[in-house]
Chains A and B, each alone.
Chain A
């Protein structure tokens, strides 16, 4: 998938989404907005899970930090440009992740890491719940949507669908940035770490540092998602930080396919659909989601995108031999080397 094609795909997606207010109700538009934010959140978690091999159960803590920080700033009508505020919130998330990551990643892995991050998330959940400044169990409400100073004009995000369009654009940009990261150099290293950390170390890569980097980026983006969330819903409560919220991106990513970049987005959308259609009966959505997730893990661990990928492969493999793979080498009896190809090329480009 080339860069320009991806960018085009994103732009078209954004345009379709942006048109939503014109063909559906405000309630649905609200849900779409939530889904966009959740999708970004899921993408940030999957950076850790699908592309670095780290399983955390406390990711919502960063989201909550971002949400509450934004709430405080907006409530106090802090005279900061909204984009600067968002950047600041992301930075806060990054700093927090670095601090937590430095301690946690070195000491725990696998199950221990999962439980440790779960505990840390719950600790934050409890702290927020007891903090008077943050509204205790009731949280904070009545948070205004800010004005966005775009230099040529002042866009009032509180009016009409402006915030929704803002969301569309920002989420698309973040997704695009993550895509660039995942498929670029850093992403290649991360994916190697996910597949075989020891082997990657033997390539000269400081695995711990890259894991920390991934953790930091994921935390920053989660905080950013939280920052986008607050003005959209305008009321926030401490259970933004609880373990169920932390598990949400996990479900989304797995449903859609954790090994595919866009999997989490697909999963979030599907999940939102399920939630919406089962919203009338308390507990039904949990039940359905749980069953679906179990089925995914037991039968199709690569999720929806994985299944689609397999189908696509079947279709292209069916006819004759692929043109790119010439007939000869079926196994290791192929002639080994051409005499001219040097094993230690003398001249080269970028070394």
Chain B
């Protein structure tokens, strides 16, 4: 059981890395990007193409992930200019469907470039094995690493958004973009900046999480759904909420694997459905990038 909890924290951190970008984009641009999971996956594929199934150097692994992040960030800029920008004032329904179309473009392109095969990837040697806390508790090093990354990213985002001047500007734009523009803030640049950050994060996550679950065409969608759960429960646009919700979700999922092994994956959706029905605004309410 303890193992399940630790595992859950690690899973939660992984989901958070994707959910953060999703909720961030919503908070600032008011666009729910259904394609976000696929950009995460593209980051993973890019990293995979460079590094292959096995790497010896931790440094390479991290660098390649950063590179993947950069590639996806560039894609993000292109996407922003061609699609996302135009979706701001469009009816909800069309916005969702447009990002869904974006999902298909990303999905189709990935299949064409990288094919349909699945791969499993092993983590760099530094992370193999783990460490024992006691006789019965063994923590795989990689899971700990993932958890660590999740926490670090969260702390960085939190500090940036709540304490830095950039963050304050972002909050004001999220809150009232017209007014922010009147105050001299270059709103379009900020939007692009937000998109770049969110997509970079997704790509980076893609690279870093490669050894976590391997690579397969269904990866994007499963992460997307999990990210949705986290984002909804945490409150749209609310990063702190997304963090808590992702962790909660990871825990629920791994605990349910232990308690209800026959229907894995079901619990989390049931929880989300229940949540949406009970408290549609999320645990912490909607944020504007906070």
Touch between chains A and B, by CB atoms below 8 Å? yes
User: Across the interface, do B270 and A297 meet the contact criterion of CB distance under 8 Å?
Assistant: no
Contacts A283-B112, A285-B108, A301-B94 given; indicate if A111 touches B103 (C-beta within 8 A).
no
Most buried by A among B102, B228, B262, B273: B273
The digit string for A244-273, where 1 denotes a CB below 8 A from any CB of B, is: 000100110010000000000000000000
Contact of A126 among B102, B265, B277 (CB under 8 A): B265
Q: Which residues of A contact B236 (CB under 8 A)?
A: 111
Question: In the complex the two chains form, what is the Cα distance from A55 to B105 in whole Å?
Answer: 21
Q: Which residues of A contact B229 (CB under 8 A)?
A: 119
Q: B100: CB under 8 A from chain A?
A: yes
Looking at the assembled complex, report how far the CB atom of B174 sits from the nearest CB atom of chain A, in whole angstroms. Answer: 16
User: Across the interface, do B96 and A111 meet the contact criterion of CB distance under 8 Å?
Assistant: yes
Question: In the complex the two chains form, what is the Cα distance from A282 to B113 in whole Å?
Answer: 10
User: Across the interface, do B96 and A294 meet the contact criterion of CB distance under 8 Å?
Assistant: no
Most buried by A among B102, B104, B105: B104
Which residue on chain A has the smallest CB distance to residue B112?
Answer: A283
9-residue interface stretch from A29-37, A64-72, A101-109, A323-331: A101-109
Q: Which of B232-267 contact A (CB under 8 A)?
A: 232, 236, 262-263, 265-266
Interface residues on B, range: 35 or more
User: Across the interface, do B32 and A294 meet the contact criterion of CB distance under 8 Å?
Assistant: no
User: Across the interface, do B98 and A127 meet the contact criterion of CB distance under 8 Å?
Assistant: no
Looking at the assembled complex, report how far the CB atom of A45 sits from the nearest CB atom of chain B, in whole angstroms. Answer: 12
Question: In the complex the two chains form, what is the Cα distance from A104 to B272 in whole Å?
Answer: 13
Contacts A126-B263, A284-B108 given; indicate if A112 touches B276 (C-beta within 8 A).
yes
Interface SS of A by simple majority: helix
User: Across the interface, do A126 and B110 meet the contact criterion of CB distance under 8 Å?
Assistant: no
Looking at the assembled complex, report how far the CB atom of A196 sits from the nearest CB atom of chain B, in whole angstroms. Answer: 13
User: Across the interface, do B108 and A115 meet the contact criterion of CB distance under 8 Å?
Assistant: no
User: Across the interface, do B262 and A130 meet the contact criterion of CB distance under 8 Å?
Assistant: yes
Contact sample, A vs B, 28 pairs, CB 8 Å cutoff: A53-B93, A55-B93, A55-B96, A107-B280, A108-B276, A111-B32, A114-B96, A116-B273, A119-B272, A119-B273, A126-B263, A126-B265, A126-B269, A130-B263, A281-B112, A282-B111, A284-B112, A286-B107, A286-B108, A287-B105, A289-B104, A289-B108, A290-B108, A293-B97, A293-B100, A293-B104, A297-B90, A298-B98
Other than A57-B96, A123-B269, A123-B273, give 20 A-B pairs with Cβ distance below 8 A. A53-B93, A55-B97, A111-B92, A111-B96, A116-B272, A116-B277, A118-B228, A119-B228, A123-B270, A126-B263, A284-B108, A286-B104, A290-B104, A290-B105, A293-B97, A293-B104, A297-B90, A297-B97, A297-B98, A298-B83
Residues of A within 8 A of B (CB): 49, 53, 55, 57, 103-104, 107-108, 110-112, 114-116, 118-120, 122-123, 126-127, 130, 243, 247, 250-251, 254, 281-291, 293-294, 297-298, 301
